[in-house]
Amino acid sequence: MAVYDINRILVPDAPPEYEDHTRDVHYVPAPCQVACPVGTDAPSYIAYIWEKDYERAFEAITATNPFSSICGRVCDAPCEPACRRTDSDGPVQIRNLKRFVMDELGADYRPPAAPVTRAESVAIVGAGPAGLVAAHDLCVAGYSVHVYEMTDRLGGMMIWGIPAFRLPPGIIDEDVERLKQRCPGLEVHLNTALGRDLSLEELKQRHDAVLLTIGAWWGKPMGIPGEEDERIVDGVSFLRRVNAGERPEMPETVVVVGGGDVAMDACRVAKRLPGCRHVKVVYRRGPDEIPARKIELHHALKEEVEFIYNTQQVEVLPHGNQLALRCVKTGLGEPDEDGRRRPVPLEGSEHDILCGTVIAAVGQRGICEELDRAGMMQPDRVRTEWESMRTADPRVFAAGDGAFGGSTIVMAMHHGQRAAYYVRHFLEGEGEPLPYRTPYRTRRVPVAQDLMWEKFPIQEPVFVGLGDKPAEFPEIELTYNLDTARAEAARCYRCDAETGSADYSVLHREDIFSMARTDPGDGRKLKAMLERRLRLRDNPFPEARPAGLDDLVFLPANLSRLVIDPYREACRISWRLGERLDLELPFFVAGFDHCNREIREPVDRALAAVGAAYLGERRAGGEAPWLQLCTPGRDAPDPDASAVVYRVGERWHPMPTARANPAQILGLHVASHRGLDEAIAYAVERGFELLVVDGTGAPRREWPELAGAPDLSLLRETIAILRRLRKEETIDIAWFGGVRSGTDAAKLVGLGVNAIGHGVAVALAMGGEIADGVMRFAPDRSEEEREEAVRNILKANAGEASMMARCAGKTRLHNIEPEDLRAVTRATASATGIPLAGTKAA
Amino acid sequence: MVTIDLAATAVREANELIRRHGADGTDVELVNPDARHHLGVGLVHPIDVRIRGSAGYFCAGLTDAARFEVDNNVGWGVGDNMYSGQVVVRGNAGAIPGVAIRGAEIVIHGNMGSRAGQVMKAGTLACAGNANFMAGYMMYGGRIVILGDSGEKVGEDMTGGHIFVGGRVQDLGSDAELVDLDDGDDDDLRAFLDRYELPFKGTFKKIVNAGKKLRYATSERQMRSIPFFTFSQDSEYWNPKIQEDIYIKSQIGRYRIRGYGGARPLPHLADLAFRRDLSHAGRDPDVVAKVALATEIGGLNGANALKLSMPVMIAPMSYGALSASTKRAIGLASTLAGIAENTGEGGMSDAQRGAASQLIFQMLGGRLGWNIHDMNRADGLEIYISQGAKPGLGGQLMAKKVTPELARIRGIPPGIDLRSPSRHPDILGGDDLLIKVEELREATGYRLPVSVKLGAGRVSDDVKIAVKDGFDFIELDGMQGSTGAGSAEVIDYVGVPTLPAIIEAIDALEEIERRQDIEIVLMGGIRDGIDAVKALCLGADAVAFGTSTIIAGGCIACMQCHIGQCVTGIATQDPEHEKRYQAEVESRNIHRFLEGARWQIAALTHALGYSDFRDLGRDDLVALTPEAAEITGLPHEPERRATLPELRVQVG
């Protein structure tokens, strides 16, 4: 299976030992992540950059990629063309963002060492990206690993093939040092070549398994007459010389043949070397077909490299003291096996390009006489089976360019991971493990919040190009600064994140994307999608889900009720509490008794301003009406209070109650089912005007609403008792518990409540934060700001409540009835007595 | 001049004759009108129509260019929605004279009823006598001239235009104010009055919009949405989403607005499963050819039905909420798929008409873009009563999206936070609606299917009214439907989910034995062919896809549709953003999605053992949750989740 499966439908299981989240319905790996051969969780690290949490970003980047610093500079970034923003205003610059994080943290970070826990050891031949990543994974799994490298350095093509202006040597060292730190079981044997210094047999004797990652180290010849001239060099050898530190003098004009990454590096290296003035790249197809990464091409053009397209070399001839590269022009013919159109020579188009040297970058090959003798080569790479990464020898595995032909660093790393997986299962004696699949995980980071996210253009890093001293190979571009990095991070669509709909989960959205990209004749894919969609969803309302306000909905007015315009038409929401106290908003606030003055007084002033009351044992301040909460036998009614509300304790017992003056409302505070009958009967008998029903279940603790969802059945029972007593209309009900919005308030009105209490909602509005089960207030706001926030939240909730009323066709909030509500769960229907939507009232 | 005797000619026939004479350029005289409704509606030629007596409701409604003169009185809604032309009424006019006019001149010699010129966009409504309450209610433009007294609350919630009062201004409506006359106002008025020979010696007072309610005072801080899983069913009571809502509301003092559909879990078609084992579904590559999917909708009462290649339509979505390119892409896709597209609120652009081979024209209370010419070039008419996402609320279009072009089509001032009225001026209940439906049929010669869009609420009562009012079909929209902008709380907490909605609708119609008299197109959270088949099993005649077509066309579901800066160029009117949307590419994507849905419907129907989707029935389904079982009455078989082997996806 291809790693980059654009169908995005057929996702096989990842092997169980990997952390993989693809079975989570709230997560589908984003296209960028799927495009990455090592499955980098790009959306998460991008989001962490926004949050300035570089350490977590670093973790997300390096979790599947031991060469993150290198990739931050020179990865060919298949993630970027896969980015969904590519089609609108350009992809998120995922690679540059990685570089930003690695530049911030990469140099100093030392990962924890993974101890050796296994007796077996593995030999790896070749210290390129495939070999070292395999070494890393095997070391992390507890094996000892010996890496045999024929040169004097670790890194393979990363170090010998990529010029320093793109990848400064210090960057490679960062990754290598980190890898060594992580892998104490890694032993490196430099200057040790297979066939020269030791044989495959010796390796097999010393180790339990051998992995060949020999690379494609030699350039392919162009295969044209005159090629043997010493002024013709191959691209990889040329780069190797330069990366070894040489700065050879170049002729005035250099021609590079080829259009791949080696050609791009070679032409740009030549451009920087002493003596060189002109560099021409000869490529046999056109600019649309050239395989070089767009950014490399772009940079080469900026550095004034000349590109000669649709031109194919046919011969090299001496021309005075120069060379003449004889070429023909080409047209595009039929597509060949890789889907690209074949260049076709045009007759009579022969012409010469004069130059001092030709660098041939037309492909690479692996050469190993030792393996050739053993019959393991086919002919320029190790014959290897992709499904198991095995060679003909059952104890010998192979990966990377040397096994599958020239590719990219990140693909070689994927090979290394695959190979490590199969080697491990071989060593553990498991013959046929589940096929390897790149694991995808998410770190569930909130989306970036910049207001400009949808307007930010691509943030281009500063391009320096050749610089003042080209031969010193200064780095070509600068990294982002904090601002540009965050601006770029904010651009991410966050395809990984569920953005807010139960019906359209991320998974389902992906299915729709897929349907929209499936040919109507592709029956196999259509069937696979259908199968996936026929999977049954879990019950969104499991048995344990408690009854709650969330599961009530309003019935709108349509034809059977007169529609009221919620934007314009008036809706009365005021309430005369207990026939005595006029509240402009039918709200009260409770639960701030224990707060200090800086918190209580803004609440009080805001309540006075909006026309609502405070319920508590002491006044919030001096302005708003006060509903005094009294403990019987302890507190005396205060003449300043608008109401006196007696608490019923854990158990009902008759209590002395009195009002300080006849204008006061007399009320009872009930908080439990126990003794509710007697308490209500008592209140009704005594002519109380108010019942405060506290549904928090924890009336004695601070911030009782933080205990969880309120118990709505207490309200239902209260009303049932009043109805039995035929006193429903004679006593007001005030509710306290879990009111978060005007919608909650309106629903409670529908359930029979007259005045609605706010506690935590007001505290949150004032800037309170929930911590350790209580609200905490930081001294970050003025009293005026807190007061304004309280006014605003109460006004907003009043507006919401009246909007609900009007949607239900009411011009008065208190006209909402049970009949205007429906439940969407059985639990809520049963707790409230409201019928389930679509069913008839009992 | 020809004379038509209404004592001997039915109104329907008379209107046909009037239009025919209009095309010939022959003036018409109507005798014995006897206050019949809908006289002259739909006339689009500049002829004179003389009515010798009184006319009923909607006289001269939905006309353009003709000149009407009525000897006596008119009922309500005279000149309804006139584009140009004139009406002179020698007697009195009932309520809402000049409702929604867009350029005509209407002159009432006597008094006029309440809400004169409601939602008018342009033109002049003049009255020599007194006006009743709320003249100029929600007017967007044009002028009202009242020579007598204004009545109460004159200019209530007007957005634009001018009201001139010669007599007493009893009191001003909300957001209206008195200002001095501009230079030239008086001359213009007197020239107008002279033209209609209305003597007036007094002075005028001028009333305009005071500008206090045109835009929200403080704008809500734009935020990207909190991922859903952090506030889904098992999250904390005071979860981050709740906290964010409270925090934002404490800054703006107002309800929050957002776009997209409902966010929280509700009983859904997804809580149903098919009774049969469908593991073989779709094995036949040619399944689409083996199942009859073509159907017609809207022809029950003799109108030209919509011809659908499958029982699917596009749900109404407006140009305004969506960019012109997006509407174009959807229209093209609907044509390729052989189904019907819908204009949504706000009128029909030439581009939309060109893209969609079958187009339903939606008509709302604000009468934005509603006119006889677009009705005539539509393939179906739809009266919007409410929508599932925000039933009870009118459309909202934030100022950022009200561009001059859009304002022109809708006939409103550019740059206002448009909050469409949530009630039709002339539909206060089922009886009014009956007359309205008749007017639409009269005006378009009974050619077009007329449907009603209902956000699910008291579905049982509402569908009974709809069938009695003579609609051809109902577009029933469950609360999982989406919107370009609406109160976040209304989106999630007002209305009934799609699943109970269809059950209630079918049961109610069967209860009064009228199921055969009306068709039901179900919408609201119907996501693909699987949902569609379940809806068809439950009794819908067809379904409509909205959000899923948008997603197919590139929507990333960021829920910021209301802001107007859609990053994908879908829900925006900003050219910089819109150019990110490639209509040709996305129309192909949307079309492929629709074809995929067709394949799914065919594959499932076939696998259930039928060759025609009309054979699907409730018996083909079972319920997976106690809620779904109770709502649908289907057997509750939750164990199916366990017994169905995890469908293993095969590799490549």
- What integer is the mean pLDDT of A351-358? 96
CB atoms within 10 A of CB A392: 13
Percent of residues in chain A assigned helix, strand, coil, to nearest 5: 35, 15, 50
Return residues 496-515 of A near B (CB < 8 Å): 497-505, 508-509, 511-513, 515
Instruction: Name beta bridge partners: A209.
Output: A122
| A799 lies in some domain | yes
Quick check: B613 and B534 in contact, CB under 8 A? no
Whether complex ipTM tops 0.90: yes
Q: What is the CATH classification number for the domain harbouring A706?
A: 3.20.20.70
pLDDT digits (tens, 9 = 90+) for B393-430: 888 888 888 889 888 888 888 888 888 898 999 998 88
Confidence of residue A491 (pLDDT cuts 50, 70, 90): very high
Structure tokens at A463: 């391009």
**Mean pLDDT, range A457-478, rounded to an integer:** 91
pLDDT at A117: 96
The CA distances from residue A417 to A540, B44, B237, B402, B415, in Å, are: 39, 75, 43, 54, 57
Specify if A158 maps to a domain. Answer: no
Contacts of B581 in chain A (CB under 8 A): 88
Determine which helix (DSSP H) or strand (DSSP E) holds A627, and give its type and residue range. Answer: strand A626-630
Domains and CATH numbers, chain B: 2-209 (2.160.20.60), 240-617 (3.20.20.70)
Distance CA A27, CA A36 (A): 17
pLDDT, tens digit, 9 for 90 and up, residues A560-573: 888 888 888 889 99
pLDDT at B637: 94
pLDDT of res. B647: 39
The answer as to whether A612 is a domain residue is yes
- Using DSSP's 3-state secondary structure scheme, residue A814 falls into helix
Mean pLDDT of the B573-599 span: 95
> Looking at residues A792-798, what average pLDDT do you find?
97
Instruction: Give, in degrees to the nearest 5, the angle at Cα A194 between A190 and A199.
Output: 120
- Which pLDDT band, with edges at 50, 70 and 90, does B101 fall under? very high
Out of A310, A328, A363, pick the residue that ends a domain. Answer: A363
The secondary element (H helix, E strand) that includes residue B439 is helix B430-443
Length of chain A: 842
pLDDT at A26 over 90: no
Q: Find the helix packing angle between A783-807 and A742-750, rounded to 10°.
A: 50
CB < 8 Å from B in window 371-390 of A: none
The mean-pLDDT minimum among A266-270, A366-370, A420-424, B1-5 falls in: A366-370
Domain end (from A363, A389, A424): A363
- Tell me how far apart the alpha carbons of residues A134 and A131 are, in angstroms, rounded to a whole number: 5
Tell me the C-alpha distance between B598 and A455, whole Å. 37
CA distance B601 to B311: 9
Q: Number of C-alpha atoms within 13 angstroms, CB side, residue A195?
A: 12
A557 touching B (Cβ < 8 Å): yes
Nearest to A515 among B249, B265, B592 (CB): B592
**Residue B400 pLDDT:** 82
Whether the pLDDT of residue A3 is over 50: the answer is no
The CATH number assigned to the domain holding A263 equals 3.50.50.60
Q: Tell me what pLDDT residue A13 has.
A: 74
- Smallest CA-to-CA distance from A174 within A67, A81, A271 is with A67
Helix (H, G, I), strand (E, B) or coil at B239: coil
Selecting from A504, A556, A567 the residue whose C-beta is nearest the C-beta of B386 gives A556
The predicted model gives A6-16 an average pLDDT of: 67
A152 touches chain B (CB under 8 A): no
B494 contacts A554? CB cut-off 8 A: yes
Total Cβ atoms within 10 A of residue A574: 14
Judged against a pLDDT cut of 60, whether residue A842 lies above it is answered with no
For A773, nearest residue in chain B (alpha carbons): B238
Work out the average pLDDT over B463-482: 96
Best A504, A511, A705, A770 member to test B by mutation, with max B CBs in 10 Å, is A504
Strands B306-308 and B295-297: antiparallel
The mean pLDDT of chain A is 92
Q: What percent of chain A has pLDDT over 90?
A: 78
Count CB pairs under 8 A between chains A and B: 392
For residue A177, is it within any domain?
Answer: no
**Full domain range(s) for residue A596:** 565-816
Using the predicted structure, report yes or no on whether residue A6 has a pLDDT greater than 60: no
| B603 min Cα distance to partner chain A (Å) | 9
* Count of domains observed in chain A: 2
Phi and psi at residue A130, in whole multiples of 5°? Answer: -65, -45
Predicted confidence band at A607 (pLDDT cuts at 50, 70, 90)?
very high
Closest CA to A405 of A205, A190, A572, A218: A218
Looking at the domain assignment, is residue A681 inside a domain?
yes
CA dist A4 and A440 (Å) reads 12
Distance separating alpha carbons of residues B57 and B551, to the nearest angstrom: 44
Q: Residue A229: inside a domain, yes or no? A: yes
Q: Which residues pair with B70 in a beta bridge?
A: B51, B89
pLDDT tens-digit series, residues B245-292: 999 999 999 999 999 998 888 999 999 999 999 989 999 989 999 999
Q: Please answer whether residues A269 and A300 qualify as being in contact, where contact means their C-beta atoms are separated by less than 8 angstroms.
A: no
pLDDT tens figures, B607-619: 999 999 999 999 9
Q: Do B392 and A706 touch (CB under 8 A)?
A: no
**Residue in A511, A760, A824 nearest the CB of B266:** A824
Distance CA B132, CA B4 (A): 33
Smallest Cβ distance to B457: which of A537, A542, A555?
A555
Do the Cβ atoms of A309 and A281 come closer than 8 Å?
no
Residue B341 clears pLDDT 70, i.e. is over it: yes
Nearest by CB: B552 against A500, A516, A520: A516
* Residue type present at position B402: V
What local confidence, expressed as pLDDT, does residue A569 receive? 85
Q: What's the whole-number mean pLDDT along residues B361-368?
A: 92
**Cα distance from B501 to chain A (closest Cα, Å)?**
6
- Rounded (5°) CA angle A204-A208-A210: 60
Entry pTM: 0.92
Domain end residue (candidates: A363, A397, A432)? A363
The owner of tokens 């070679």 is: A266
pLDDT per residue over A726-754, tens digit each?
998 899 999 999 999 999 999 999 999 99
User: Which residues, other chains included, contact B561 with Cβ-Cβ below 8 Å and sequence gap of 6+?
Assistant: B258, B259, B260, B321, B483, B484, B485, B570, B571
Q: Which residue of B has its CA nearest to A547?
A: B233
Is position A605 within any domain? yes
CB contact (8 A) between residue B250 and residue A556: no
Strand partners, A629: A645
What average pLDDT does range A347-371 have in this prediction?
94
Residue A1 has pLDDT above 50, yes or no: no
Give the largest Cα separation in chain B, rounded: 89
In 3D space, the residue among B492, B417, B487 whose CA is nearest the CA of residue B258 turns out to be: B487
CB spacing of A26 vs B569 below 8 angstroms? no
Output the CA angle B289-B290-B296, nearest 5 degrees. Answer: 75
Instruction: Summarize the confidence of residues B66-93 as an average pLDDT.
Output: 97
Residue A352 has pLDDT above 50, yes or no: yes
Of A502, A560, A738, the CB nearest to B462: A560
- Does residue A429 have a pLDDT over 70? yes
Instruction: Note the pLDDT tens digit of each residue in B554-566.
Output: 999 888 898 888 9
Q: Residue A253 — pLDDT band, cuts 50, 70, 90?
A: very high
